[in-house]
Amino acid sequence: MTRRNSTISAALVAVFIIVLGAILLASRENGADADEPASASSSRMVRDDSHRLGAPAADGKVTLVEFLDFECESCRAAYPFVEQLRKDYAGKVTFVMRYFPIPAHKNAMNAAVAVEAASQQRKLEPMYQKMYETQAQWGEKQESKAPLFRTFAEQLGLNMTAYDKAVADPKTKQRVERDRQDGLELGVEGTPTFFLNGKLLQPSSLEDFRASVDDAVKR
């Protein structure tokens, strides 16, 4: 039992280091001051049609925005932490997901388009979760994984005629690209990048990250 607990603890420490490193790296690449609001207008931070994960905060006072890339290993490492925050702050924090597919990731755009197509059938979250849960299967591949993503849509019970139409529609990709352009305007260069109430988060630890959210909720 002791050996098993040690193995679990080591795994948790490894995940902690990966997630924290990802957040700090993205923050350093942005070069922004955490105490200053983003220079771009708030409309670029959260648009009216930006995707909210779960129900928005009851009072609408606290918003956590994540710019993400589904093929990004650091985003995958941060995913369980974000999901836990969603549970802990349900109804208190609005969680906003913004696409930021990195061109060097060959299937990042395909994945984002698949998620966006699923969102048109109110299946955003199931497809969002599916992408992270299966990333090891399709990430870092050079050939298109769009056919695989189509099988995910089938597994989720989507109307495949509507899904195929959405994937083929240039407007779907344009919707994803608009998020990426907003991120670039806000200084986003790496993923995952988080903004809390319009301010770039630069935590020194995951506890610090959580404390920042907690402080915003209590204000």
Domain CATH number, residue 162? 3.40.30.10
Global confidence as pTM:
0.85
Nearest to 64 by CA among 211, 200, 207: 200
Cβ neighbors of 134 (< 8 A, separation 6 or more) are: 152
Nearest to 74 by CA among 196, 202, 190, 159: 190
In a domain, 160, yes or no: yes
In a domain, 46, yes or no: no
d(CA 166, CA 189): 28
Strand order in the sheet with 193-196: 51-53, 94-99, 63-68, 193-196, 199-200
In a domain, 28, yes or no: no
In a domain, 143, yes or no: yes
Q: Which residues constitute the domain of residue 67?
A: 51-218
What pLDDT, on the 0 to 100 scale, is given for residue 27?
Answer: 52
In a domain, 18, yes or no: no
List, as own/partner pairs, every contact residues 147-152 make where C-beta atoms lie below 8 angstroms and the sequence separation is at least 24, other chains included: 149/110, 149/111, 149/114, 150/114, 152/114, 152/127
What pLDDT, on the 0 to 100 scale, is given for residue 22?
Answer: 62
In a domain, 38, yes or no: no
d(CA 190, CA 167): 25
Q: What is the DSSP string of 31-75?
A: T--TTSB-SS-HHHHS-TTPEEESSPPSS---EEEEEE-TT-HHH
Cβ neighbors of 202 (< 8 A, separation 6 or more) are: 24, 27, 32, 34
d(CA 201, CA 172): 29
Which amino acid is it at 178?
Answer: R
Q: Could you tell me if residue 56 is left (phi over 0), alpha (psi between -120 and 50 degrees) or otherwise beta?
A: beta
First to last CA, the chain: 43
Q: Tokens 């957040």, residue?
A: 23
**Pair 193, 26: CB distance under 8 Å:** yes
Q: Pull the structure tokens for residue 181.
A: 């352009």
Q: How many domains does the chain have?
A: 1
What pLDDT, on the 0 to 100 scale, is given for residue 16?
Answer: 52
Task: Give pLDDT tens digits along the chain (219 positions).
Answer: 444 444 433 444 455 556 666 666 655 444 444 444 444 456 789 999 999 999 999 888 999 999 999 999 999 999 999 999 999 999 999 999 999 999 999 999 999 999 999 999 999 999 999 999 999 999 999 999 999 999 999 999 999 999 999 999 999 999 999 999 999 999 999 999 999 999 999 999 999 999 999 999 998
In a domain, 14, yes or no: no
What pLDDT, on the 0 to 100 scale, is given for residue 219?
Answer: 87
In a domain, 93, yes or no: yes
